[in-house]
Amino acid sequence: MIQRTLPAFMLALGLGALAGCASPTVITLNDGREIQAVDTPSYDDDAGFYEFEQLDGKRTRINKDQIRTVKEL
């Protein structure tokens, strides 16, 4: 019984920890469009782009000049 319970408990604990790390974000563009991201976008200072993953799984890069706000949900 312990042989099955311990791995199941560890798996549930790991999934709970991963779920707590993600913070959905709404990115509002200058033209009024809103894009939802899975997590907070990362900013590449050298290129001047924000990079993030959309809810459908696509990786996207947007120039910082096109972004009005970045808010966590």
From residue 9, how far is each of 5, 14, 19 by CA, in Å? 6, 9, 15
Confidence of residue 24 (pLDDT cuts 50, 70, 90): very high
Q: What is the pTM of this model?
A: 0.68
22-72 placed in CATH 2.30.30.100: yes
Residue with tokens 């809810």: 55
Q: Which residues pair with 26 in a beta bridge?
A: 36, 71
* pLDDT bucket at 20, cuts 50 / 70 / 90: low
Buried/exposed code over 32-54 (b: 16+ C-beta within 10 A; e: otherwise): eeebebeeebeeeeeeebbebee
Domain boundaries, given as residue ranges, for the chain: 22-72
